[in-house]
Amino acid sequence: MDVTVPSHNIRSLSLAVGCLGRISKDLYIEFSALEGLILRTLNDSKSAFASFEFAPSFFERCTTPLDRGSMKKRKLQRKPGGIGRQSRRRNRRSRNEEINEEKEGEEEELDDKYTCRVPIRIVHSILRSRKGVISLRIRSCMNKVNTDVTRRDLDNFIVSDMNERAMEDGYSMQLSFEFLCETIGPMRVTRRIGVEECDGIAANVSKLECSEIHSSPKTLSGMLDPLYRTTEVALCVNDVEKIVTATSFHATSSSDNALLASRSILNTETTIKCDDFLKYAWRDDHVVLDTNEQTSSVPPPNVNEEVTLVFSIKELKAMLQFCSQVGADIKEYLDVFIFFQWAGKPIIFETETESFLAYIILATLDDALITPIGNK
């Protein structure tokens, strides 16, 4: 992984990491020279998933370096005889065989996808705003370390608990953030953090057969701002009356069912007409299955008329704040696309430009756990 972020895109990258930090504490990084950089996270309850995909056009440089440490480690895995024995065998090979082997190694390195995990708070602190930054280079590296030294002696980079296994093998997996700043003269500031090699994460959610709402961040923020002292929101889309209602959601512990509101709790509700959105496309050909079937995929009886989706409000506000701030920086409107089906199915909030794609997937409360106002 070796990317160079221009100065006008550093703030967008920092805001993306800050948005992910509102969801979870671990940041999953995936990189491919062909696909670009992908930042993802998943909260502990697995009810919120977020992904920011930055295309190669987002960067000035987007390549996969032939890291010496990683190449040596791969050769050790392929050839149990070791580096010394392998170097002696090279004298017996022809020059053409060596060239072909180098080409195959480069192609293998370019095709591989780099994945790691790192604490979000550390990356966010590194990407905080700086004055006079010309560019930022983010590079992966495998450094040979002395496993006999103590943790306090490693003051040239941050060592976390996640790379202890790599240190046992004699290597330290790291990410290097190199800032090129313009002060009196060009100055380079480098910060390194330890990372853990891991498998990537993904969400198996489809946008097919979903209703869609296309809105501006300002419109959605206006609906959510009056909802005070609530961690969840109930979004009711009524296709008969052509209105969308956002209601503060309060769960009660006195019953098995959750209530949208009760007489002892302040309830706030905001309503907007569907025509006020940029686009509204309702899908009314859902197949209503047998209600006796106990499965979360069973739609409610009135699924073709209205749906009520209850989900966490914190992640959505973080997404809207990202769209507003980045849109102001790049002087471009970042509209939000909402994809939904019915209660119990995930709801997707998505925004994109030519250089990146961002989306958040939130779990919704099952319809059987929602009791309308006045029914209890």
First to last CA, the chain: 57
Cβ neighbours for 348, distance < 8 A, ≥ 6 positions apart: 205, 207, 210, 337, 338, 339, 340, 359, 360, 361
Question: Cα separation of 197 and 43, whole Å?
Answer: 19
pLDDT tens profile 270-312: 999 999 999 999 987 655 444 444 445 677 888 888 999 999 9
Both tokens of 8, joined, read: 């006008």
**What's the average model confidence in pLDDT over 317-333?**
87
Residue whose structure tokens are 């450094």: 143
**What's the average model confidence in pLDDT over 226-254?**
85
Between 360 and 207, name the one with better pLDDT: 360
pLDDT tens profile 52-103: 999 999 999 888 765 444 444 444 344 444 444 444 444 545 445 554 555 4
Yes or no: say if 160 and 154 are a contact pair by the CB < 8 Å rule. no
State residue 212's pLDDT score. Answer: 94
Which of 113-117, 128-132, 230-234, 315-319 is predicted least confidently? 128-132
State residue 18's pLDDT score. Answer: 93
Cβ neighbours for 48, distance < 8 A, ≥ 6 positions apart: 23, 24, 42, 312, 315, 360, 361, 362, 363
Angstrom CA distances, 93 to 47, 97, 101, 127, stand at 56, 6, 11, 48
Half-sphere exposure of 267 (CA within 13 A, CB side): 17
> Of 135, 163, 136, 124, which Cα lies nearest the Cα of 147?
163
Of 56-65, 115-124, 243-252, which one has max mean pLDDT?
115-124
pTM of the model: 0.78
CATH classification number, 2-64+112-197, choose in 2.30.40.10, 3.40.50.11240, 3.70.10.10, 3.40.190.10: 3.70.10.10
Yes or no: say if 362 and 48 are a contact pair by the CB < 8 Å rule. yes
pLDDT tens profile 188-215: 888 888 888 888 888 888 888 899 999 9
| The pairing of beta strand 306-312 with beta strand 2-6 | unpaired
Could you tell me what percent of the chain has a pLDDT over 90? 41
pLDDT tens profile 159-194: 444 445 444 555 678 888 999 888 777 788 888 888
pLDDT at 152 > cutoff 70: no
Confidence tier at 230 by pLDDT (50, 70, 90) = confident
Does 211-371 carry CATH code 3.40.50.2030? Answer: no
Q: Per-domain residue ranges for the chain?
A: 2-64+112-197, 68-107, 211-371
Question: Cα separation of 332 and 127, whole Å?
Answer: 23
**What's the average model confidence in pLDDT over 130-143?**
84
Of 32-36, 50-54, 146-150, 342-346, which one has max mean pLDDT?
50-54
State residue 200's pLDDT score. Answer: 83
Question: Cα separation of 295 and 367, whole Å?
Answer: 11
Angstrom CA distances, 191 to 3, 36, 76, 184, 216, stand at 15, 22, 29, 21, 37
Angstrom CA distances, 296 to 44, 45, 61, 229, 257, stand at 21, 17, 45, 29, 16
Question: Cα separation of 316 and 48, whole Å?
Answer: 10
Both tokens of 318, joined, read: 């973080």
Yes or no: say if 41 and 50 are a contact pair by the CB < 8 Å rule. yes
State residue 100's pLDDT score. Answer: 54
Between 31 and 142, name the one with better pLDDT: 31
Question: Cα separation of 65 and 3, whole Å?
Answer: 10
State residue 248's pLDDT score. Answer: 86
State residue 374's pLDDT score. Answer: 42
Could you tell me what percent of the chain has a pLDDT over 70? 70
| The pairing of beta strand 370-371 with beta strand 258-259 | parallel
Between 312 and 153, name the one with better pLDDT: 312
Yes or no: say if 313 and 245 are a contact pair by the CB < 8 Å rule. no
